Structure 1
Amino acid sequence: MLKKILIIEDDKAIAEIERDFLEINGFEAYIVEDGIEGLKQATSGEYNLILLDLMLPGMDGYEICKKIRGVVDVPIIMVTAKIEDVDKIRGLGLGADDYVSKPFSPTELVARVKANLAQYERLTSGQAAKNEKIQVGNIKVNPKTHRVYIEGKEIEFKNKEYELLLFLVTNPDIVFSKEMLYERIWGIDAYGDIKTVAVHINRLREKIEKDPSNPIHIETVWGAGYRFKV
């Protein structure tokens, strides 16, 4: 069965380019040009991935992303002309899995779609880790249920936040560069913006560290990358 991609984009020319390249690569692609209708379609549960523009009539992409995350769990890739770091951080913080800035290469976009779908399927299939619960200090991760507990309290993690945490706790005391983490978690080489890794590392620290500015678990190894200390 073909994977179904929802394109929420009010620029018809861009939306049609996205649709055409996705269909050439074996996907079903559907276009919605309005934010409110886009949200309705996105939360229907019919789509495997959502390409979401930020500047939309009716409702902006940030609000749509936030509302989608409260209903369905599918990869969301934000596609927008706004390229400032603050916009990326805001979008990723609301639950977007990846970010593509306009103008973009259609082949890059398709590669991002394939990579995010593959990573999502790998995670949800239960192949990301063993089913045994993992506990490091006050952090407990249950790969079978995708739940994380800090000092006994369940904390919500977005898709990529959870996958990054799971990878780090199952590979303790190993230094990983931003490039290595991007390739491992986002599943794509060269195309990605590795600033995404730093954003997600900061968000993990905010959720698992008592003092995020002085982390004891996720350590920065200057000039090399990050290491999860046990």
Structure 2
Amino acid sequence: MKIRINRDLITDRMNMLALHERAIVQRTQIPQSQFRQARQSGELDGHTSLSQLHRLATELGVRLTDLLDPPEAAAPQQEVPGPANDRGGVETLIPILVSATNMVSLAHAARVLGWSRDHMDAVLAAVPAALHGTGLRLHHVNGRAKVMSTDSPGRAVAYAIGCLQTMAAGLNLAQARTLRRIVNGETVFHRNIGKEEKLTLGALKNMGCIELDDMAQYRPTSDLALALPDLT
């Protein structure tokens, strides 16, 4: 038994979000050989669990139904660019350009979103006006783009970016456990820790969740509620 998946969607999302095969395999627990074969054949081994498929869809930022149901060939629909259409496109494009780690390929983004090149150009042209006054700017070069902070962002902008990245990606298990320890007052020192824990603490620090005190011990920041609004 095989599970049919949309291999073009996987390729497009990996290219658009600069996702690496090894990272996806580690997070989904799908064997690398099976995942690589699935990207070529469009079929996963029937023993792949539902939780693994859910994790794969989450990593790609798509719905599970979209991942499992390859779109049928259909005649392309003519888009009608206009102010209202562009506004909706801006609301879709900006979160992608903010949360992506690297520059996003606009060609791949347009393909995934089902936009024509003209519509992508029109939406991209409307982004700077939408970002005005936010402390963010559009960086666009050689067919790739990303929304970045200005040269001297204020604290509110920096935390807003951290908040968006946190809500988009979520905490992994190691980060959640470490953050719970710190919030509960357990001693977590910066010195004498392993490489993996350093990476975990660094990620939490970049999200605006924790900071170092005078004793080189991590503690929650006063703005933790802003960086993680769902934390109570």
Instruction: Tell me the TM-score normalised to structure 2 length.
Output: 0.31
More strand by share: 1
Q: Bigger radius of gyration, 1 or 2?
A: 2
Q: Name the structure where helix makes up a greater proportion of residues.
A: 2
TM-score normalised by length of structure 1: 0.31
